[in-house]
Structure formats: structure tokens, C-alpha cells
Amino acid sequence: MNDIKHQLRTVNVIRYVTPLREGGSLPAIVEADDGFMYVLKFRGAGQGVKALIAELIGGEIARALGLKVPELVFSHLDESFGRMEGDQEIQDLLRASEGLNLGLHYLSGAITYDPAVVTIDPLSASQIVWLDCLLTNVDRTARNTNMLMWHQELWLIDHGAALYFHHSWQNWEEQALRPFIQVKDHVLLPQASELAAVDTAFSAILTTDKVRAIIDLIPENWLAAAGTDMPAKERREVYVQFLTSRIAHSEIFVKEATHARQSLI
């Protein structure tokens, strides 16, 4: 029986501060009723709730592994919120995102990680590479590192492009056992010399109960809106089985990452 307690706070968005015009998802900095600022990821943008689900799973798995991720919160957007917005594109996005969205605590003053300026130690690099191989996260490259330096510490952000199997749901059992070929482009791969040790440690942490507790965080209506005929309960179980299968066979993606690294050094 799963006795691991895991939950996210829920806040209400009270003020739209400014858009972050990066990529096609148009996230924004908003203020919530708890007095904090958040980077809000909208359910009405880009890949919709699938990006929010990937963000939620990726962020909370990273946190469970001891990596630094801004706090994730469910962020409620009232139906009246976008009516006074003058920018038509933003107004359309707000109206399409009424209800529950996902926010990341805004790290004021943080700067984008630059591999030419800061070198990450081998253990930390290996931990992040392992995480992204597990999640099949294609979006941690030199062009777009999706990492921030804040108070001289490395923070991980933006896992919305992970778990790309859920954009089709086809042959997910086979996809769970595939190597992560895109690891060759990972910005931290050259420093990731401790993948074997990280594999042993992280596989022990991510038990089935731990994975299930994280997957149980996904709101039911996000699963229902994810665009297939598969029932929400069944879809939730697929996420659990996909991740636990990849963890159980992690030697597949570790071997691919190790070979890709050897070709770089």
C-alpha cells in the first residue's frame, strides 16, 4: 500500500505581471494570493495539459532525487481574469486557461546557466543527465539549458518537453525501454563521469511507491483533457508503468549516455 504523502499547494492568481515570450508556450510572471510571484505555465498554451503534466512529473521527480527545483503550485485562474487584458493574444490565452494551471516559484534575480562561465561538478552533472535520460527530456541543450543560477546554486526549470511518449501514447511499453539517443546533445554530458554511481543511488530512491505518489498529483481533469480515448485512471497508470519500467531497465539509457559521452571527450 502506498503510504507516501505528497501534495502541492494551490494558489489563486490575482495579477498578471508580464509575459515571458520564450518559445511558443508564452508563460508569464504572475502574482498569487499568497503574496508570491510565480512563473505560470498555462493549460491553454502550446501542448496544453500534456506540457503541464510533464512539468509536474519532471519537477517533482527531480525534487525527490534531491535536485533543486522551484516550488511547484497548482494555480487557479478565474474565468474573469482575462477580460480586462488589452493584448488579444494574451487575452485568448487567459480565457483558454481558466481553471487549474501550474506555477513555479519565481526566482527573482536568477540568471540563465551558461556552461562557458560556470562548470558543474561531475556528480551534479551526472545526476541531471540521469534525470533527463529517465524523463526523455530533449530540452537541456547548450542552446537552451533550462537551468538557472540563483544564490550561487544550480536550479532546474522547464520540464514541459519531457515524456514525449504521451504525445502519441503509441507503443509506450516499447518506448519505455528505448535508449535516450538525444542525450548526445545534453549540455552537461561532458562532465557526467559518475553515471554508474548515480544510477545505483537514484534507482534506489525512486521506488514504485515514490513514483506513484508523484503521478497521483496529476489532476483528474488534466488527464481527461490529454487528448486520447484512454480513461484518465488508465492513463495515470501508464505514467507509473512507463517510469518504473525505465527505472528498472536504467542500464539501457545509462549505457547510451556513457557511449555518447565517450565520443565527446
Q: pLDDT tens digits for 233-248?
A: 999 999 999 999 999 9
**CB burial string 185-221: b at 16+ within 10 A, e below:** ebbbbbbbbbbeebbebbbeebeeebbbbbbebbbee
Answer yes or no: do 148 and 251 share one domain: yes
Answer yes or no: do 90 and 208 share one domain: no
**CB burial string 21-59: b at 16+ within 10 A, e below:** eeeebbbbbbbbeeeebbbbbbbbbbbbbbbbbbbbbbb
Mean pLDDT by 10 residues, the chain (265 residues): 68 92 76 97 90 97 98 93 71 89 97 95 98 97 95 96 92 96 98 98 98 97 80 94 98 98 89
Q: What are phi and psi of 50, to 5 degrees?
A: -65, -40
Flag whether 5 is in a domain: no
| Rounded distance between C-alpha atoms, residue 204 and residue 24, angstroms | 37
Q: Of all helices (H) and strands (E), which one includes residue 77?
A: strand 72-77
pLDDT at 4: 52
Answer yes or no: do 60 and 144 share one domain: no
Q: Which of 37, 72, 105 is the last residue of a domain?
A: 105
Structural domain containing residue 87: 10-105
Answer yes or no: do 242 and 183 share one domain: yes
Answer yes or no: do 98 and 17 share one domain: yes
What does the DSSP 8-state code read for residue 153? E
Answer yes or no: do 123 and 46 share one domain: no
What SS3 class is residue 166?
Answer: helix
Flag whether 2 is in a domain: no
The percent of residues above 90 in pLDDT, for the chain, comes to: 79
What SS3 class is residue 104?
Answer: strand
Flag whether 4 is in a domain: no
Answer yes or no: do 92 and 28 share one domain: yes
Answer yes or no: do 126 and 16 share one domain: no
Q: Which of 105, 136, 151 is the last residue of a domain?
A: 105
pTM value is 0.94
Q: Which of 55, 80, 105 is the last residue of a domain?
A: 105
Answer yes or no: do 118 and 97 share one domain: no
List the strands of the sheet with 147-150, edge to edge.
111-112, 147-150, 153-156
Answer yes or no: do 84 and 119 share one domain: no
Flag whether 198 is in a domain: yes
* Beta partners for residue 76, in sequence order: 12, 100
Express each pLDDT in 180-214 by its tens digit. 999 999 999 999 999 999 999 999 999 999 999 99
Answer yes or no: do 64 and 124 share one domain: no
**Residues near 261 by Cβ (< 8 Å), separated by ≥ 6?**
189, 190, 192, 193, 195
Answer yes or no: do 152 and 101 share one domain: no
Q: Are 57 and 128 in contact (CB under 8 A)?
A: no
User: How many domains is the chain partitioned into structurally?
Assistant: 2
